[in-house]
Amino acid sequence: MRQSPLQTAGSEEIAARLKGRDFIGLVDYKPEEIRYLIDLAVELKRRHQAGEVYQPLKGKTLGMIFEKSSTRTRVSFEVGMYQLGGHALFLSRDDIQLGRGETIRDTAQTLSRFLDGIMIRTYGHRNVVELARAATVPVINGLSDLSHPCQALADYQTVLEKKGRLEGLKIAFVGDGNNVCHSLMMGAAKLGLHFVAAVPEGYDPDKEVVQLSREAAEQTGGSVTVVRDPVEAVTDADVVYTDVWASMGFEHEQKERERVFRKYQVNEKLVAHAKPDYLFMHCLPAHRGEEVTDEVIDGPNSVVFDEAENRLHAQKAILVAIMG
């Protein structure tokens, strides 16, 4: 049985490195740091389920900037801060208008005088980077158009819990080469998994993200492949993952994307090519009947709600590590 990550040899040194860091993308974190956060998330989940009170963030406040709304991100961060003894302050796009009127730099410096950490969920990744550069408190990327690192951390926590390991597993992503795909890809590369994305032409993941992920995979024994054929991607997969075809901000492309992605639906016929004990994953919310059928998302291999719950525990691990 694994020791608590709070007790293992070397964990104190990793913990010291993480304090005060930003959490913008998994690309910025070493494999052992990502694994430390996952193990910490598992430990915090155990403590919570055992009814243990653990409040290392007592008296601390997290500011949450939502230019892009989200039920799961808001609830999980608010509940997480409450459970850790701190407070979360919700700032909607009506409360704060990044870069409109006041520069992002000035906003970052001002908020840093009030807050102990900032989480931002926004459209442009450059907003996250600019905010982090100017802020003097840790900044967490709650989602941008380029990446969704909190989701990926929760995803790999879920895989570890269900499979007992991460290294060597095959994860197939079917659909749009979007921000979720990017973070899953980088996470797989850093953690030694074999990642295969099946995407239609014109919807490929970002070339730089693919290249950086492949470079990371060379160091861990993992691999990163992008293909057109969903069957090729899913064959013998341990994990099958999909996301909505038209992410927020691309609703105007919905009809066109439905036509292009029709062959990329995750249904019973497609998952029959995966391993019998495969996990089905989706970051939610799901558009049932589009990217996934009811039979798959409600089937025995689906872990989507365990995955959703782990957003809470994974984000608590990030909060404790960088704000504690």
CATH number where 223 lies: 3.40.50.1370
Regarding whether 87 and 60 lie in a shared domain, the answer is yes
pLDDT, tens digit, for every residue of 100-125? 778 999 999 999 999 999 999 999 99
pLDDT, tens digit, for every residue of 45-59? 999 999 999 999 999
User: Is 249 part of a structural domain of the chain?
Assistant: yes
pLDDT in the model for residue 249: 73
Question: To the nearest whole percent, how much of the chain has pLDDT over 70?
Answer: 97
Catalytic residue among 148, 182, 194, 313: 148
Regarding whether 137 and 75 lie in a shared domain, the answer is yes
Regarding whether 259 and 198 lie in a shared domain, the answer is yes
Regarding whether 175 and 257 lie in a shared domain, the answer is yes
Regarding whether 159 and 286 lie in a shared domain, the answer is yes
Catalytic residue flag (residue 150): no
Regarding whether 163 and 120 lie in a shared domain, the answer is no
More confident residue, 1 or 307: 307
Catalytic residue flag (residue 148): yes
Whether 233 has a pLDDT exceeding 60, the answer reads yes
Regarding whether 60 and 163 lie in a shared domain, the answer is no
Name the H helices within the chain.
Answer: 11-18, 31-49, 71-83, 104-114, 125-134, 149-163, 179-191, 207-220, 230-234, 254-260, 268-271, 294-297, 304-323
Catalytic residue flag (residue 306): no
pLDDT in the model for residue 9: 60
Question: To the nearest whole percent, how much of the chain has pLDDT over 90?
Answer: 91
User: Is 24 part of a structural domain of the chain?
Assistant: yes
User: Is 243 part of a structural domain of the chain?
Assistant: yes
Regarding whether 241 and 199 lie in a shared domain, the answer is yes
pLDDT-derived band at 6, boundaries 50, 70, 90: low
User: Is 6 part of a structural domain of the chain?
Assistant: no
Whether 3 has a pLDDT exceeding 60, the answer reads no
How many residues in total does the chain contain? 324
pLDDT, tens digit, for every residue of 9-18? 689 999 999 9
Q: In what order do the strands lie in the sheet with 61-66?
A: 87-92, 61-66, 117-121, 139-143
Angle, CA 245 vertex, CA 151 and CA 205 arms, to 5°: 65
Total-model pTM = 0.96
Regarding whether 118 and 155 lie in a shared domain, the answer is no
User: Is 128 part of a structural domain of the chain?
Assistant: yes
Whether 8 has a pLDDT exceeding 70, the answer reads no
User: Is 5 part of a structural domain of the chain?
Assistant: no
Catalytic residue among 21, 145, 243, 313: 243
Catalytic residue flag (residue 219): no
pLDDT-derived band at 2, boundaries 50, 70, 90: very low
pLDDT in the model for residue 104: 94
User: Is 87 part of a structural domain of the chain?
Assistant: yes
Catalytic residue among 176, 311, 313, 315: 311
Regarding whether 303 and 159 lie in a shared domain, the answer is yes
Regarding whether 135 and 98 lie in a shared domain, the answer is yes
More confident residue, 219 or 1: 219
Asked if 148 contacts 307 with a C-beta cutoff of 8 angstroms, the reply is no
pLDDT in the model for residue 234: 99
Catalytic residue among 39, 83, 151, 176: 151
Domain span at residue 64 reads 11-148+310-323
What is the total count of domains within the chain? 2
Regarding whether 289 and 262 lie in a shared domain, the answer is yes
User: Is 3 part of a structural domain of the chain?
Assistant: no
Catalytic residue flag (residue 121): yes
Catalytic residue among 74, 116, 283, 315: 283
Q: Is 301 helix (H, G, I), strand (E, B) or coil?
A: coil
Catalytic residue flag (residue 273): no
